Structure 1
Amino acid sequence: MTTIAEQKVPSGPVRAGTSLLMIAGIIAMIAMMLHICADVLSRRLLGTPIVGTLEYVTYFYMVAVVFLPLGRVQEERGHVIVEVISQLMPPKVSLWVDRGAQLFTLAYVAFIGWWGWQETVRSFTRNEVVTVIQTDFPLWPTRLLVPLGLAAMCLVILAQLAESFRSGFRLPPPDPAAH
């Protein structure tokens, strides 16, 4: 039996997919940082901003930065977990609370991902665009990043739940020194 800290992260295609999405999120973060820095320098040195910075940041960079790394964050169990009450429970009960929370999260994230897919399809059929410098950019590609990132998170949760049931995964006992 393993503890949360010792639990293996999903390997194979799930891990490769979340790694690629994380790298894409990192690239988007770097591009956003460089774009904003260039905009600030342009304002200070040339007295004029870079046209379209707000639109690029809002519609392109931020969507990638927020949604693409979700699978990797789930792998590392980096989301907020409130354990105020579960710390007082016996380890077996705490294990089932953790599994229940993962199942609830899976259902919630899958619903949001499904809804995001519906919005992507609607954006594509409406030919929804944002105009930057007299050029229309379609919004559906960035709308697609929402269900993509959420699907990766769902796959990781499924892999973690499968590992939990397969290996008899249990939570570590509470640390008496922490009280």
Structure 2
Amino acid sequence: MIDQSQVLITLPDGVFMEGHFKTKHSLKIESSINGTLLSKQKVILESNSVFNGDLICSELVLSGKFSGNIFCTGKVQVKQGCQISGRVYTYRFENDEMTNLDCIISVPDTNTINRIKEIIDGIDVDQKLSSDPNLPSLIKIYEDNLAAKEKVKLPELVKEQAKPIPVPNGIPTGATNGVHTNGVSK
């Protein structure tokens, strides 16, 4: 019997897919997708990939362009050159230098992640994703967790009043504003 976690499906460059997709396998995407994708395993978006929509997975490696919502029960790893626009809900987030992130990142608590993992484990991949009642409930659990966190207001930090830098004649200059022109502090 084949270990399903070891199967990797590749969607090569030159493919455009649109709609709702669900799989129990890992995916390597080198193409364009518009829609919703649920993978019980790892998803890899290569540098030439473009994804618009919702992505639900257990682990994600991003190198391409992504716009939408990411729901990940494990780690999202963002590689150099990647672009993300939207929301990222993940248990762990890691990004390289030189990424273009225009997103809100939310880290749900462990109980929330465990509830979501249970739902994903129980999903029947043979049922259409668009009519699967688990999809809206997964998204709602993530969003409810975020909403609960946003209701908790953190106290504002009390900032000490900045003390003005004394300057001769009250006029700051490059040599008197606390930094020499060579960048060395006075």
TM-score (norm 1): 0.27
> Which has the larger strand fraction?
2
Tell me which of the two structures has the higher relative contact order, counting C-alpha pairs closer than 8 angstroms and 6 or more residues apart.
1
Larger Rg: 2
> Which has the larger helix fraction?
1
